[in-house]
Amino acid sequence: MAEIRVPELAESITEGTISTWFKQVGDSVEKGENIVELETDKVNVEVISEEAGVVTELKAAEGDTVEVGSVIAIVEAGETQKATNDASQQETSAPEEQSESKEEVKSEEKTEAADKSSERIVATPSARRYARENGIDLSDVNSKDPRGLIRSHDVKNTQSAPAQKSEAPKQTASNPEKPIIREKMSRRRQTIAKKLLEVSNNTAMLTTFNEVDMTNVMELRKRKKDKFQEDHDGTRLGFMSFFTKAVVAALKKYPAVNAEIDGDDLILKQFYDIGVAVSTEEGLVVPVVRDCDKKNFAEIEGSIYDLAVKARDKKLSLDDMMGGSFTITNGGVFGSLMSTPIINGTQAAILGMHSIVTRPVAIDKERMENRPMMYIALSYDHRIIDGKEAVGFLKTIKELIESPEDLLLES
């Protein structure tokens, strides 16, 4: 017999959520085969079976929170077998007591006929118990699970619906009940919400803005992109490498922007690991490009591309996400003209890039020209960074992007 346990995930992660069971009770599993996917605060982790055999027990249901080290499934040596009725019940149950039939006999709230009817309904033990305790007929409960599995929150939603109606104002033709969809946030969305609120509450965040004339860097990119792609095995020359290199140069000039607070200490980081925000279906993730001061443009572009692909394919590891010293986010890819980005974790600042828009610009007192312009924003922790430093940092990036030859000299 082999116990499938929640593996060690990372120093700061103590629990995860069962995202998907790849195997059910009665299914065969090979040694090293994935059996379950866990969703953590940062990435999804697939857990393998260390032994070949048959899944005989699942101790947690999809959506349950499980702690590191806890047993979530049992695999026993043997051949594939059809799940019995008891195993089928075990497959769809949460890790709570399995003595449902005894509890149903003791229940004074349902008739024997109702008990027999409810036994044919697929529900977790906690859902059955909650229904009995509150006089709810499971046949009246709607499940959002594609398999029809009823969980306790489905029963609670059924119970709360009449109460909400009784407390609501009397509905009239001019005040009809409005349709809504209520769904639980994913663990990652909950974590994003929690972390953003923590940053808002625990930092003195301020944002300063500037604008960049993208004419020169766009012309340079246009001249060099084909040769660049040819010389670097298909790697495309984008704007992110220019901004990443500009950020590194600015961080060297203004080291407080590359710092963080630890208690009463200020930690000034002597490395340049730049996080690049990537949007995925499950929310924003920030994989880190390591040692950007030591990488050339092609290496930075290649690293960003690889990390973006891994993020969208849900293949990022925890190491890919840890330890960044500064973050760049590009809302311009979605059409954002201007925003105030929120600092990432314990970092001191974040750079926001935005859409490139052709606007009339005064060249001198006599001339106006249409130029490709981008607003850039620096959100920073005012406890660490003074306004003068923040403005100087952003001005340095502006000057380097507008004079890309100087940026090459900084590399």
Annotated catalytic sites, by residue? 382, 386
Give the whole-angstrom CA distance, residue 394 versus residue 399.
Answer: 9
DSSP state of 203: S
Give the rounded distance of the alpha carbon of 14 from its chain centre. 17
Over the range 243-280, which residues count as b (16 or more CB within 10 Å of their CB) and which as e? bbbbbbbbbeebebbbbbeeeeeeeebeebbbbbbbbe
No. of H helices and E strands in the chain? 12, 19
The Cα 208–Cα 339 span in angstroms is 10
Task: Please report how the helices 215-231 and 297-312 are oriented relative to each other, as an axis angle in degrees rounded to 10.
Answer: 80
Burial class of residue 184 (count of CB atoms within 10 Å of its CB; 0-12, 13-18, 19+): exposed
CA 79 to the chain's CA centroid: 38
Contact residues for 132 (Cβ-Cβ < 8 A; gap 6+): 103, 104, 107, 109, 110
Helix axes 152-167, 125-133, angle to 10 degrees: 30
- With a CB cutoff of 8 Å and minimum separation 6, the contacts of 333 are none
